[in-house]
Each structure stands twice: as structure tokens, then as C-alpha cells.
């Protein structure tokens, strides 16, 4: 049987790796779960191509047992304006697999929308590439029924900036907007979608 591969995406701002401890913890937990071992990867500014040491760069780590590859590329924001609700009660993505076939098959159902919002047994989970945060007045909530424990999500929960809540499809009307977050996208990056654009 082929060994599974996993990915880790880390935001690099002006040569500085962001939230690195959260990423290292997730990679180590993955390695322990699948291979009963930890991993060590040393990241430093000298490994980043000189032209990518300023601005926002994406560091992509692909890894498995005794195998690791680190790549860097300039990051470009992709604005999302609309989401298609897609139901799947069987999908599991608790580890950040390099193989995204299950997510990509759901993404094919987005129709004219920019991305999908995955629904599991009537509960809101994640989009195809991010966790979500829902805004109600001055409060921010993230679904407790997430698919992947994102590093940015974990950081914001730990800081008390967002709170967990059970959010059903029928609850969406009680919120003002939905925000996207992942390792590369922060709350203030204007990835904000009006609830009326979730169909």
C-alpha cells in the first residue's frame, strides 16, 4: 500500500514564518498518528529565494514517512464572492492530505459560485480550502463541526477572538456575513461574504 502524503502551508511575511509552532504541532501529530514517529524540518530565511523574501510568500511542505519537500511561491489572494452549499455526510478531512480528490469532487458542484460551503448532516463545516467564521453583531463564531482543525482557527480560538458554536444551515440567516480564514488568510484580509451570497 502506498504511504499517504500530507501538505502544510505556511505564510511567510517579509521572510518571517507565521504561526510556526502551530504548523509544527500539526505535522508532528500527523506523523505520530500515521507513522508512530515525529518529524523535524528546519525552516529559515536563507532557504527562501531572494526575490520572495519580501512581501507575502507561501511555503508549501509536502511530507510523508522519511520524505519531505519544501517549496516557495509568491502568494496571490483569490477573492471569493459567493459560496454554494454542498451536502456530504461522509466526508472526512481531519488530516491535511495532499490527495484532495474528495474535496475536488465536491468543488465540481459549485455551479456559478466561486467556491463551496460543505454541509455535513445539516451542519456547516468548511469551504474547499478554508475554515469559516460567521459574524453576528460584534461577535465572531466558527463551526464546532469543522472538517480540518486549521492553524489560524486554533490561534484565534486560543486568543479568544472567535468562539465555537454549532451552526446549522437554517442558522445562517441569523448571521450578517461569513469570513474565510486559513494559514494564508487573516480575518482582516477582506475575505468577507454576504450571507445572501451563500446559496
Summarize pLDDT for 62-83 with one digit per residue, the tens: 999 989 999 999 999 899 999 9
Note the pLDDT tens digit of each residue in 89-122: 999 899 999 999 999 999 999 999 999 999 999 9
Per-residue pLDDT at 1 exceeds 70: no
Please, which pLDDT band fits residue 191 given cuts at 50, 70 and 90?
A: confident
Task: Check pLDDT > 90 for residue 140.
Answer: yes
At residue 40 the predicted structure's pLDDT band, cuts being 50, 70 and 90, is confident
Rounded percentage of the chain residues whose pLDDT exceeds 90: 92
- Secondary structure of the chain as H, E, C letters: CCCCCEEEEEEEECCEECCHHHHHHHHHHHHHHHHCCCCCCCCCHHHCCHHHCCCEEEEEEEEECCEEEEEEEECCCCCCCCEEEEECCCCCCCCCECCCHHHHHHHCCCCCCCEEEEEECCEEEEECCCEEEEEECCEEEEECCCCCCCHHHHHHHHCCCCEEECCEHHHHHHCCEEEEEECCECHHHCCEEEHHHEC
Domains and CATH numbers, the chain: 6-74 (3.30.470.10), 83-197 (3.20.10.10)
Return the residue matching grid coordinates 510556526.
Answer: 20
What is the reported pLDDT for 139? 97
Range from 52-61, 110-119, 184-193 carrying the lowest mean pLDDT: 184-193
Amino acid at each position: 500500500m502506498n504511504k499517504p502524503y500530507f501538505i502544510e502551508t505556511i505564510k511567510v511575511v517579509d521572510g518571517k514564518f507565521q504561526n510556526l509552532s502551530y504548523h509544527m504541532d500539526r505535522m508532528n501529530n500527523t506523523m505520530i498518528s500515521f507513522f508512530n514517529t515525529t518529524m523535524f524540518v528546519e525552516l529559515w530565511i536563507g532557504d527562501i529565494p531572494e526575490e520572495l523574501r519580501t512581501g507575502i510568500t507561501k511555503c508549501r511542505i509536502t511530507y510523508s514517512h522519511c520524505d519531505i519537500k519544501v517549496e516557495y511561491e509568491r502568494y496571490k489572494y483569490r477573492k471569493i464572492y459567493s459560496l454554494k452549499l454542498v451536502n456530504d455526510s461522509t466526508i472526512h478531512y481531519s488530516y491535511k492530505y495532499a490527495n484532495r480528490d474528495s474535496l475536488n469532487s465536491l468543488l465540481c458542484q459549485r455551479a456559478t459560485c466561486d467556491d463551496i460551503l460543505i454541509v455535513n448532516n445539516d451542519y456547516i463545516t468548511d469551504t474547499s480550502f478554508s475554515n469559516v467564521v460567521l459574524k453576528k453583531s460584534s461577535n465572531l463564531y466558527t463551526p464546532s463541526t469543522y472538517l480540518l482543525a486549521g492553524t489560524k482557527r486554533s490561534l484565534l480560538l486560543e486568543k479568544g477572538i472567535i468562539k465555537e458554536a454549532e451552526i446549522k444551515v437554517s442558522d445562517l440567516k441569523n448571521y450578517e456575513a461569513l469570513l474565510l480564514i486559513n494559514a494564508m488568510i487573516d480575518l482582516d484580509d477582506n475575505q468577507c461574504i454576504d450571507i445572501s451570497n451563500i446559496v
